[in-house]
Amino acid sequence: MIVFNVPPCTGRELDYIREAVASHKISGDGAFTKKCSAWLEQRFGAHRVLLTTSGSTALDMASLLCRLQPGDEVILPSFTFSSTANAFAIYGAKLVFVDIRPDTMNIDETKLEAAITDRTRVIVAMHYAGVACEMDTIMDVARRHGLLVVEDAAQAVMSTYKGRPLGTIGDIGCYSFHETKNYSMGEGGALVLNRPELVERAEILREKGTNRSKFFRGQVDKYTWVDIGDSFLPSELNAAYLWAQLEMADEINENRLASWRAYNEAFQELAAAGRVALPTVPADCVHNAHMYYLKCRDLEERTALIAFLKERGILAVFHYVPLHSAPAGLRLGRFAGEDVYTTRESDRLVRLPLYYGLDEADRNTVIAAVRAFYGM
């Protein structure tokens, strides 16, 4: 059986977790959390990074930092994970879905302006498969209309756009360290704050509405409840697991890229024959091999391919049921403009097994099975 995903594990995880246990500090913001956030800040040149309990709660915090009022509108792609939408809908925002580009599957930056109304407050840029959205245009549109930009960079840790790390370009970035992501802590994530004026409120939101972070830095002599908040900080046990991954971030990245390139090389012939479409990585984007996908002719062919692979012990999966057509999306949002590509392209897409340490022989089995399906 060739599974779709194996959570990353580099070998030092249990040592670090043991260290955290021995230090008698297993709640949040201990030594491992500090190491991880400092690493992310330095590596990506981010102003401030706060670890969170998930990518979803990083998005929740981003949404709270946007100070939305009921009826405010948030522009996002429909082709994304439910968390991208939940984070804003949960605080009363109206969701405005915009079509994607067929090449990168990212939000179509040329369709943003037509979706903006006088209630629009935020644009969410979700970097699908770790390949960047067209950020220069998105930032330009946002600045001209006075909107905030939140990057859902859950899949994009270690990717760049014109040399700039994803997550650090918008006002706020969100990472995920779920077990299905490139770097993991089981459940976890991070909030990337790219504007200094957001940091104080973010720290308060994350610490149950208290100014405890300031207290620990000796900036106030007692801590108290100063604003709304929640518990968004992960346990040291999770951060210890993550540290073992960040330490080897380049190795993990290289390993994933090697698998991605091997797939991409192997499917050139199928693509040239017009049988499948391969992922597009624009010239300005360096990606992190979060995912390898193919696009079949249509839904029917994709269903047959997934079944064919399953019969051969290979687990391939699709992505996503567009949010605007899901029960919650119908209630909480509307599609601005025409759905030219969102439904059509998502129906065609199939993701192949790709994870840190994917065995070359397994990879070749997947490649041979896909070729066999197409009789090539």
> Interface with ligand PLP by CB under 6 A: which residues?
54-56, 80-81, 83-84, 126, 152, 154-155, 176, 178, 189
Contact 281, 46 (CB under 8 A): no
Report the nearest approach of ligand PLP to the CB of residue 371 (Å). Answer: 29
- CA-to-CA distance for 74 and 101, rounded, in angstroms? 19
Report the nearest approach of ligand PLP to the CB of residue 265 (Å). Answer: 26
- CA-to-CA distance for 231 and 59, rounded, in angstroms? 14
Report the nearest approach of ligand PLP to the CB of residue 197 (Å). Answer: 25
- Which residues have C-beta within 8 Å of that of residue 234, sequence separation ≥ 6? 28, 33, 51, 52, 53, 185, 187, 188
Report the nearest approach of ligand PLP to the CB of residue 65 (Å). Answer: 17
- From residue 46, how far is each of 138, 190, 196, 246 by CA, in Å? 19, 12, 10, 16
Contact 77, 109 (CB under 8 A): no
| Cβ neighbours, 10 Å, residue 299 | 15
Nearer of residues 176 and 245 to ligand PLP, judged by Cβ: 176
Nearer of residues 242 and 270 to ligand PLP, judged by Cβ: 242
Report the nearest approach of ligand PLP to the CB of residue 169 (Å). Answer: 16
Nearer of residues 154 and 166 to ligand PLP, judged by Cβ: 154
Question: Side chain identity at 322, as an amino acid letter?
Answer: P
- Which residues have C-beta within 8 Å of that of residue 67, sequence separation ≥ 6? none
Residue nearest to ligand PLP (CB): 55
Nearer of residues 129 and 281 to ligand PLP, judged by Cβ: 129
Report the nearest approach of ligand PLP to the CB of residue 174 (Å). Answer: 7
Task: Give the Cα-Cα-Cα angle 116, 118, 122 (nearest 5 degrees).
Answer: 55
Nearer of residues 157 and 296 to ligand PLP, judged by Cβ: 157
Question: Side chain identity at 306, as an amino acid letter?
Answer: I
Nearer of residues 30 and 188 to ligand PLP, judged by Cβ: 188
